[in-house]
Structure 1
């Protein structure tokens, strides 16, 4: 007996959803490719329940985007300035002297049961 085509499939797997209404905003259209790629990496780490607790260090972001570690800081700043992400906890040294990465919240998603702030919707080029 031959097993069916969908026998071992349990779903389509994880994916990153980037809605059209986000891409149509002036803030998104003004982003360079680097910050756009970083935003996709941050969304990859969002699982539907961890908004505000999305951890991504500059080293890990640089490795994921295949760029220098010093380049990524500007990408984070640009996403914050245009309202796509919000810093919820800054980076620091932990109790053992080991660095702890900052945590971020996506403004397009709900945070702690509150509605989305979508700060990027009100961004205007200066």
Structure 2
């Protein structure tokens, strides 16, 4: 039989990652690639309730955990930062004696490193407008030649 505290809540249980509806329903989340969503979940998995802002995650570890290439991890982290779902609180470094993984904070949770409230900037993020997307798409495309036109 499960043990309960004085308020009737269960004690203990396996750890889990909480995904809030406002994050999943945001335009920022919907714009992410599947790899970026996987990377977000692995970074969120490191959160224990008291260490937001100190979530250390190396590119190599994330690549192994998500079964993707290190370049994909780097691109996914940059995408997560650009849509404001995470912030980098400390840059990673790699020298001959010291290897430090970059540290992150989740934007939807209060930062334990600085004490600042959750920024929730991802809620205000919007994708580029259709005119911008069309211009980018047209610039990368090869223009088809028209049959019967004089050259």
> TM-score, structure 1 length as denominator?
0.87
Q: Is the 8 A contact 2:35 2:72 kept in 1?
A: no
Which residue does the alignment assign to 1:23?
Answer: 24
Which residue does the alignment assign to 1:99?
Answer: 99
Which residue does the alignment assign to 2:115?
Answer: 113
Residue 42 (structure 2) pairs with residue 50 (structure 1): no
Q: CA deviation at 1:19?
A: 1.0
Which residue does the alignment assign to 1:41?
Answer: 42
Map 1:2-17 onto structure 2 (within 5 A): 5-6=1-2, 11-17=12-18
RMSD between superposed Cα atoms in Å: 1.7
Q: CA deviation at 1:32?
A: 1.2
SS at match of 1:97: coil
Q: How many residues align?
A: 120
For structure 1, the residue ranges without an aligned partner over 5 or more in a row are none
Q: 2 CA distance for matches of 1:68 and 1:21?
A: 29
Q: 1 CA distance for matches of 2:25 and 2:65?
A: 26
Runs of 4 or more off by more than 4 Å in structure 1? none
> TM-score, structure 2 length as denominator?
0.74
Q: CA deviation at 1:115?
A: 1.1
Q: 1 CA distance for matches of 2:116 and 2:88?
A: 16
Q: CA deviation at 1:12?
A: 2.2
Q: CA deviation at 1:6?
A: 3.9
Q: CA deviation at 1:10?
A: 5.5
